[in-house]
Amino acid sequence: MNRPTIISLLYLSSFVLGITALIGVILAFVWKGEPHEEWEATHYQYLINTFWIGLVGTIVGVVTMIVLIGFLILMATVALCIVRSVLSLINAQKRMAMPNPSTLLA
């Protein structure tokens, strides 16, 4: 099992266990600084961005729950994080680079 796969699985398990996303982003930052294959670098950047998107989306969703739009924002954030984690997981299993790690979805 390669390192980006481990991080993706930690992100996906965070919807049940909670804290594993934080462990995943810490591992992504640590492993990004170590020698690795070229395709892995794109995954680390993509997964770090996924964490920050999820964190910001969650904060905005919680704050805007007062006006009831927060539930929609939280659902969209969860869906986006799941899709991004699965896309990274699939590409990591194929040992393929993420096409554009700085984009919102792909």
Q: What is the pTM of this model?
A: 0.93
pLDDT higher than 90, residue 35: no
Query: Is the residue at 99 inside a domain?
Result: no
- Residues, the chain, total? 106
Q: What is the pLDDT averaged over residues 71-81?
A: 96
The DSSP result for the chain, as a single string, is --HHHHHHHHHHHHHHHSTHHHHHHHHHHHHHTS---HHHHHHHHHHHHHHHHHHHHHHHHHHGGGGT-HHHHHHHHHHHHHHHHHHHHHHHHTT---S-TTSS--
pLDDT at 13: 97
Residue 75 within a domain? yes
Report if residue 56 sits inside a domain: yes
Domains of the chain: total: 1
Distance between CA atoms of 10 and 28, rounded to whole angstroms? 11
In a domain, 34, yes or no: yes
Q: Is 98 inside a domain boundary?
A: no
| Domain limits for position 23 | 3-93
